[in-house]
Amino acid sequence: MKERDIEKAYSKDEFVSKLRRLADCIEKNENFRISVAGEAIYVPDGAVFTIEHERSEQSHELEFQVKWKG
């Protein structure tokens, strides 16, 4: 599997919808499926969730991360 680093912007409504679907799957201990830039991604129910904050003089960045091995 080749390495990949994609960042895609979404509207507020699209972002909320994706977060809501993810939260529902987490609560139900179900796998989560999402398509990012044309590739289907399957997140297993055993994934690890973290929140990261980065700050510089010019900006802030808040990342909600989902990590798993596979």
Note the pLDDT tens digit of each residue in 56-68.
999 999 999 999 9
Asked if the structure places residue 19 within a domain, the reply is: no
| DSSP 8-state secondary structure symbol assigned to residue 31 | -
| DSSP 8-state secondary structure symbol assigned to residue 24 | H
* H/E stretch holding 47: none
- Domain coverage including residue 66: 30-70
**How many structural domains comprise the chain?**
1
pLDDT of residue 44: 92
Asked if the structure places residue 70 within a domain, the reply is: yes
As a whole number, mean pLDDT of residues 42-53 equals 94
Over residues 7-45, the pLDDT tens digits come to 989 999 999 999 999 999 999 999 999 998 889 999 998
The residue behind tokens 């399957």 is 42
Asked if the structure places residue 68 within a domain, the reply is: yes
pLDDT of residue 15: 95
Those residues whose C-beta lies under 8 Å from the C-beta of residue 64, and which sit 6 or more positions away, are 19, 49, 50, 51
Asked if the structure places residue 1 within a domain, the reply is: no
Q: Is the pLDDT of residue 46 over 90?
A: no
Asked if the structure places residue 13 within a domain, the reply is: no
